[in-house]
Structure 1
Amino acid sequence: MTQPSASTSPLVLDGSTVSLEDILSVAEGRRKVALSTAPEFCERITRGQVFLERLLEEDGVVYGVTTGYGDACTRPVSMDDIDSLPRHLYTFHGCGQGQVLAAEAARAVILVRLVSLCQGVSGISMELLERLVWLLQEDVLPVIPEEGSVGASGDLTPLSYLAAVLCGERDVFDRGVRRPAAEALAERHMTPYRLKPKEGLALMNGTAVMTALGILAFSRCSYLTLLSTRITALSVQALNGNPYHFDTDLFAAKPHPGQQCVAERLRQDLHAPSTPRNSSRLQDRYSTRCAPHVIGVVEDALPWWRQFLTNELNSANDNPLIDPDVGKVMHGGHFYGGHVAFVMDSLKQAAANLADLLDRQLALLVDTRYNHGLPSNLSGASPERLPLNHGYKAVQIGASAWTAEALKLTMPASVFSRSTECHNQDKVSMGTIAARDALRVLTLVEQVAAATLHAACQGVELRSQLNASHTDSVAASATRSAEGSTAENVEGSVEENGEAVPQALGDFIDAIRQNIDPVLEDRALDQDLTLLCSLIRKRHWSLYDAG
């Protein structure tokens, strides 16, 4: 399996750089979190809170602390009401709709917000950081509706559910069980938290939800590039295709690094190190021949997607920011999620192309006009039972439906900015919508990958049976003919033509067969596909160097 085991050491947060993999390890429940106890870290956090308190005493005006929010920033809030203002902020934002975030997404949201607040420029207390860490340690997770954010001023509505839960309001998933937050806190003898003057704003006015979802999407897309490459190799093998389309010298002539990497993986899978002067078939169809050019786009985009997400993760992205060392409050727009939106909009387009690629491979595999001798719809039934059986006919229809839906969702969200909040938020990122779209697209791509993987394994096995039958037939003829080749020579020629299953593909099919049986007589395949999708989401199989 590609998932590492749970780390014995917690992820210690001290304001230093955190990786995407760190977020994933916590989100997936493989690692715990702790705050640094280093004096310099604690002092840095405390200095911001002390400076804010002094600023209130000296000047008496701080946005979102002694004023209303957004377009209401010109309305002063009396000193008597300052302590109530954070509660009003999360209360009126309690209007989220739609499905709620899964547990791994909720963990990621908490941790991403923690990383931002640990930068030490948000004017919050150590106690707030400790409470957020406590949620992760106890696995008490806010129930967060996924709809309602325009991605600036940050993820206000979804993050209001995090703020409310800290204060003992709304619902949590308590180790998987939904219940009122107040009950979960009381059971653990934890009093509801009372947000200090700027802490409501610091919790909510940032990009934690879109960034958390973006990191999850990045991980899933990364694995799908590897899996799509392996499925392509299986499809080439099943279709008796030309393994030399991925020649080293050929790809040196168009030197996109990701594209070259995909071609190299296909060469390894298919045991095709170099191109002979003449191949058995000159050119395969584009869905196999051009697979490195499709998958390679994703491979080449992954590094800059990673850079954008890593920078956003390790940023202070609320407003205003407080610098206690130079003594100033900085008002800006770091809550704007444009970089995340751009990553998610481009990721969903590139990922949907993976579905389109694999769906076209599946269409070739099931069609006797193009699959070079395989049974209709890859049925494994005996010849006399073949008219009754339909193999993967419906699976291919389903894969085309999922592909069409994925392609439909590739419309960029970031171009649909709407002016909101009395035209204070008159240009917004839509980053959270883009991230949600990307996750839905990835779910559909995983379904297409599961369908094509299921069929391609069957196709390789059927091809092996055809090759074995052909070899036996030729060998029998050779035995009867004084002028024919020996059976041993015929078997050797079969291997030289690439028709024997290469070891990497054979081992992978063996791994699949631990969970999924071949299709002989027709059977419902929904449970098989659901299981495969689950294994894909868990990155179950080690693939290439990423394993």
Structure 2
Amino acid sequence: MHLAELKNLSAADQRRAVCFDQGRLTIEDIVDIASGAAQVTLSAEPAFRAAISRGADFLDRLLSEDGTIYGVTTGYGDSCTVNVPAELIPELPHHLYAYHGCGLGELFSPAQTRAIMAARLASLSKGYSGVSVGLLEQITRLLKENLLPLIPSEGSVGASGDLTPLSYLAAVLCGEREVWRDGTKVPAAEALATAGITPLRLRPKEGLAIMNGTAVMTALACLAYQRAEYLVRIATRITAMASFALDGNAHHFDETLFAVKPHAGQQQVAAWLRQDLPTDDAPRNQKRLQDRYSIRCAPHVIGVLADALPWMRASIENELNSANDNPIIDGENERVLHGGHFYGGHIAFVMDSMKNAVANVADLLDRQMALLVDSRYNHGLPANLSGADGARASINHGLKALQISSSAWTAEALKQTMPASVFSRSTECHNQDKVSMGTIAARDCLRVLQLTEQVVAALLISVRQGVWLRCKQEGAPQPQQNLQQMMELLTVDIAVVQEDRMLEPDLRLLLERIRLQHWQLYQ
């Protein structure tokens, strides 16, 4: 391609492409699609398209032979005993999304919606759902045009999959309900017409295939995983800065010490702390023998999350790369397999576990802040980390209120850790009598992550202030290179607090930095 042609490419055309076929996708693929860093393509390989068509063609043959197929020639759920007359079969998929249009609550964000659509496309692309290539192309086209269904976040019990929220995707594919278009709510029919997209008329099983799966909870789990992974790193850097500000004992992170308790994630956190905190800055007898737990045991707290991430990734990516609707259509062997792959138990367990580990990190950081602002425990720093001098110190209160807010966010995060998966409810005339609650668990986990990131923002202000105050003291050691660089980066965004000021703008800026993973930590 000529240079002139390259210059004419739009920014969207230069994004990396994530190809949907029967291959394996990663969490990062979904996260990048959600953020707009990647674009979706559907494989044009003849073998892939033939595999998709095989299932749809088999269903057509089965229908012509008067076969009984759940959700195709029968009603749904407990209504599976109701036979649908042949002349009404084409209408059935449209009734499915119509009566499931009862979601409430906040709408999923555009990024979350892109992730949901990508997760559903991934499952349908496995070739075991009995859908047409045209359906996959329609989802792909919506993503490329950035026409995103308005999906309410509440109404799924996580089995039979995410029926109610995914009904909004099914409806939009058919030109009904509303979409986001350039940040504006627009009727789906209008948006599709403007983009030159013909609304679908769903084939017999396609409504069920779109809706009867775990795409919503799986998409949210992918987004949660990315944030939790970064939390491990930023919480470790904050711990190092807190230890320095408190004149802590870096020997608590000794390599030999951690070799005797071989949790790999915990050892990694300790190793990162050793990069940030040199252990030869003072003889051992000049340091306190033991720091308080929120410093000394930080690798043991952050390490729980670090050690959980690998198995969490495995469970999330297995779900992402599964055919998770019902029935499964085996076009190759011409079989209809009735099961329960819509059940989101693995995602529910991961999300319940993740929010517990994440909230514990919030609690750890909140305890570190409590030490930093308290002149009884911060080893010579001013009360509330106030930077005011002389007579003005009497009217300045430093980070007193910030510590209160941090404590409030931490308490709310801890309150959210009740596992959702144990609150199964019998629904739908006792057909869905054991359900996963995976989507509620995922929504809870994202809320816990949001609150914990708010605590992180508060701690970044606190440790930046604490390190600055420590370095001002006569004869004080200077931070090692990693911490010095972090201080320089934070200085760009956060002025030291010498006179009391409103800190909300600082917090909001830091939250944006955290969510964009602005600081590259521990290569």
TM over 0.5: yes
TM-score by length of 2: 0.96
What is the CA–CA distance in structure 2 between the aligned matches of 1:511 and 1:536, rounded to whole Å?
Answer: 13
Residue 177 of structure 1: how far off its partner (Å):
1.5
1:239 alignment partner, one of 243, 246, 253: 246
The 1:243/1:24 distance shift into structure 2, 3 A limit, reads same
Q: Which residue of 2 aligns with 1:264?
A: 271
**Contact residue 417 and residue 429 of structure 1 kept, 8 A:** yes
Which residue identity lines up with residue 480 of structure 2 in the other structure?
P
Structure 2 counterpart SS, 1:514: helix
Q: Residues 188-232 of structure 1, C-alpha deviation per residue, up to 9 Å, x if partnerless?
A: 222211111100000000000000001111111110110000000
Does residue 230 of structure 2 align to residue 252 of structure 1?
no
Structure 2 counterpart SS, 1:34: strand
Structure 1 counterpart SS, 2:403: helix
2:414 alignment partner, one of 375, 398, 407: 407
Q: Which residue of 2 aligns with 1:481?
A: none
Does residue 173 of structure 2 align to residue 188 of structure 1?
no
Q: Which residue of 2 aligns with 1:511?
A: 489
Does residue 311 of structure 2 align to residue 333 of structure 1?
no
Does residue 169 of structure 2 align to residue 150 of structure 1?
no
TM-score by length of 1: 0.92
Which residue identity lines up with residue 511 of structure 2 in the other structure?
C
Does residue 22 of structure 2 align to residue 15 of structure 1?
yes
What is the CA–CA distance in structure 2 between the aligned matches of 1:17 and 1:273, rounded to whole Å?
Answer: 47
The 1:310/1:273 distance shift into structure 2, 3 A limit, reads farther
What is the CA–CA distance in structure 2 between the aligned matches of 1:247 and 1:279, rounded to whole Å?
Answer: 17
What is the CA–CA distance in structure 2 between the aligned matches of 1:63 and 1:278, rounded to whole Å?
Answer: 75
Does residue 186 of structure 2 align to residue 179 of structure 1?
yes
Q: Which residue of 2 aligns with 1:477?
A: none
Report matched runs for 1:415-430 at 5 Å. Answer: 415-430=422-437
Which residue identity lines up with residue 109 of structure 1 in the other structure?
I
> Aligned-residue CA RMSD in angstroms?
1.3
Gaps of 5+ in 1: 472-493
Q: Which residue of 1 aligns with 2:61?
A: 54
Q: Which residue of 2 aligns with 1:122?
A: 129
**Contact residue 352 and residue 407 of structure 1 kept, 8 A:** yes
**Contact residue 93 and residue 204 of structure 2 kept, 8 A:** yes
**Contact residue 145 and residue 195 of structure 2 kept, 8 A:** no
Report matched runs for 1:497-536 at 5 Å. Answer: 499-536=477-514
Q: Which residue of 1 aligns with 2:167?
A: 160
- Count of equivalent residues: 512
Residue 289 of structure 1: how far off its partner (Å):
0.5
Does residue 199 of structure 2 align to residue 221 of structure 1?
no
Report matched runs for 1:531-546 at 5 Å. Answer: 531-545=509-523
Does residue 390 of structure 2 align to residue 383 of structure 1?
yes
Does residue 176 of structure 2 align to residue 169 of structure 1?
yes
Q: Which residue of 2 aligns with 1:478?
A: none
Residue 60 of structure 1: how far off its partner (Å):
3.0
Residue 258 of structure 1: how far off its partner (Å):
0.5
What is the CA–CA distance in structure 2 between the aligned matches of 1:321 and 1:274, rounded to whole Å?
Answer: 63
What is the CA–CA distance in structure 2 between the aligned matches of 1:101 and 1:543, rounded to whole Å?
Answer: 30
**Contact residue 368 and residue 375 of structure 1 kept, 8 A:** yes
Q: Which residue of 2 aligns with 1:344?
A: 351
Q: Residues 62-90 of structure 1, C-alpha deviation per residue, up to 9 Å, x if partnerless?
A: 11001000000000111111111011000
Q: Which residue of 2 aligns with 1:482?
A: none
Residue 28 of structure 1: how far off its partner (Å):
0.5
Q: Which residue of 2 aligns with 1:480?
A: none
Q: Rg: which structure is higher? A: 1
Percent of residue pairs identical = 61
What is the CA–CA distance in structure 2 between the aligned matches of 1:347 and 1:412, rounded to whole Å?
Answer: 10
Structure 2 counterpart SS, 1:281: coil
Residue 503 of structure 1: how far off its partner (Å):
1.1
The 1:409/1:34 distance shift into structure 2, 3 A limit, reads same
Residue 276 of structure 1: how far off its partner (Å):
5.6
Which residue identity lines up with residue 438 of structure 1 in the other structure?
C
What is the CA–CA distance in structure 2 between the aligned matches of 1:7 and 1:451, rounded to whole Å?
Answer: 37
**Contact residue 6 and residue 31 of structure 1 kept, 8 A:** no
1:311 alignment partner, one of 300, 314, 318: 318
